[in-house]
Chain A
Amino acid sequence: MDTLIELGRGPLFRFAVALAVLGLLRHAVLSLWGMRQVLRRAGDKRFALGPVIQRTLVHLNPVRYFTGNRGVYSILSTLFHVGLILVPILFAGHIRLWQRGLGIGWPALPMSVADALTILTVVTGVLLVVGRAWFVASREMSRPQDWLLPPLIAFEFLSGYLLAHPGSNPFDLQLVTLLHVGVGDLLLLVTPFTKIAHCAMLPFSQLVSEMAWKFVPGAGHDVVKTLGKEGQPI
């Protein structure tokens, strides 16, 4: 089991991080490259960056949904994301690992705050899945990854909490470590291939909706075809 843990903390972890970072980078480069190609072929070369930035920022601001018809969902989701982003990066134990591996470190969250955020993430993660199952509409449009990812993340945080508090860990320490490391690697590995990619791709999605729909080459032909007026003079 030691060997497995070392594998997960060493080679596999590096592989997972590299795949996550390079994979997201690849999405970004391809999006920009494709945009350039589309723009080159398009007749209408106007391009508004303003709305893209504006929409990205709007999407990043969850508060405006709090009072809407899905307010509870929005609040839960926001709380979920706060812990999800802060704890893995700012947890003291993780920073220590970075220091040992690469010699770089940064300020950590106080233990008590990290604990609170961890519990919050686990709870909100579970609630989000429950909500998804509860409402017919969201249940119907859910894909497998929508069901799988929140529980995996909740598990990751739960196991992390147990590792940070070995006194209250009723399970085998090695086993929990292995699972924590393994699921962490798994989440990183699937980052560029699942909706987790939105962590880096949000602005690019906005860019695409700004560009691609406007500048579809051959769109005129498609319209003619759809209308069944092929070959007719316009």
Chain B
Amino acid sequence: MRAILTDVTKCIGCEKCVAACVTENKLPPALPARWTRDDGLSAERFTAIERKGTSNVRKQCRHCLEPACASACPVGALHKTPEGPVVYDSSKCLGCRYCMMACPFGIPRYQWGSTVPYVRKCTMCHENRVKLGRQPACTEACPTQATIFGERTELLAEAHRRLGVDPARYQPAVWGETDVGGTSVLYLSPIPLDFLGVGRVQHERALPELTVTAMEAVPPVFVGVGAVLAGVRWIIGRRMKLADGSSPHGGSHDGSHGGSGTGSRGGSKEKKP
């Protein structure tokens, strides 16, 4: 699996990666619009440099190992390729934007101004470069080797080597090694990179895990509810028959109401979790 390692301490903020990305992906000029976040990224910019004090942090899609966007998409328009990049198939998309909601880094952006809008984000140049064994435009353009491309395991080893050689230079962690289940874009940074996340930082585990339990419960709940309903109807029907037999004017209405009402609710609650 291929990956990108960005060493924040080596970045001089020249934005050559941005220019290379624009050229490679033939991106149009990024006009300021009401809906863009003020962080440099937009439907027309897949990477940007954010300046934090003296550090220049390059933002881009993290290409998670277990991408929340791909897990959320109802039609599977997003998927993790075996080479590493997370890519988007616009022909499947129906525009629900659940991927944008799910991404913990707020990476996917939308073409709000268009009447045929698509989701846009960094694809790690999968189609034209990575799939063919070449490196992405951004890492190729970097003049200081601040952002480099390679096998994820090798890059991780390199990152830990740098941490070992000069521990004072960095925060003592490789961002992306384990957070949100690991990402294919790794960072070494002198400052905490929590600001790259959206909302409350919840990066201990992969987000798709959170819906798995609920989704796995779907078939058993479906069958279970059906069975309970049939059972309840049968029991009540039988009780009514018996009651009708003993006393022709059904005095059992109230009784069956109370009993069945609470019973059913208890039943459905048991089935749910």
Chains A, B in direct contact (C-beta < 8 Å):
no
Residues of B in contact with A (beta carbons under 8 Å apart): none
Residues of A in contact with B (beta carbons under 8 Å apart): none
